Amino acid sequence: MTIDNAAAYQFLFTGDHETMLYAVLKKLNLKPGHPDYEDYFQEARVLFPDIYHAFPEDPEEKPHQFLAYAQQKLYWTLMDQRRHDFRDNSHQESGDGDTLLSGLPGDDDVLAAIGLADYRKYLLKLIGASGKTGEWHFLVGTLVDQLTVDEIAEKHQVSRNTVYRWRRLLTQRLIHHLTAEHDIF
């Protein structure tokens, strides 16, 4: 069964009945400059025939009662629609999506950072258990504090040659520990 909407639209566009739609939008605080104004105005026009046919009496005989009924019904329906739209969009960040996504680190960067952090923890635990103080100073200075050889030497008041010796001993110790694990298999 199809409902003829021509009578509803004819009623809406006769006289000043359409001003009721503007009144509803104004009551919803939607002014003509609002970005959603035209969308809600069209939505009100689309909803009008259903409201026209849902009125319990003949809208042509009681136009004032119908217009009051239609205004309230449109207000409630559009208010619910605005709440629903706000709830759907409230969790979204404003702005261009590409710009927002470009600010996030890539998968490779995250995986590399996680792998590097795990490797650093492994080295610190390995040298902390069996390393000498100089090796520890070099490892912490390079991995944790991100210092150069000159800065490590200045911090611990030793020569650069001593820091290079710490690095050589640390490298030998790591080669010994890492290759010993591979020889087991």
Please say whether the dihedral angle defined by the alpha carbons of residues 71, 39, 51 and 80, taken in this order, is positive or negative. Answer: negative
Q: 17 burial class (0-12, 13-18, 19+ CB within 10 angstroms)? A: middle
Inter-axis angle of helices 19-27 and 37-54, to 10 degrees?
120
Please tell me what DSSP assigns to residue 3.
Answer: P
Q: What is the mean pLDDT of residues 44-72?
A: 91
Residue reference for tokens 């004819």: 10
**Mean of pLDDT values over 31-41:** 90
What's the pLDDT score for residue 184?
Answer: 47
In the prediction, which pLDDT does 46 show? Answer: 92
pTM assigned to the model: 0.49
More confident residue, 114 or 174: 174
Tens-place pLDDT, residues 120-178: 677 667 666 666 788 878 878 887 788 899 999 999 899 999 999 988 888 887 777 76
Instruction: Tell me how many degrees the CA angle 134-138-143 measures, rounded to the nearest 5.
Output: 150
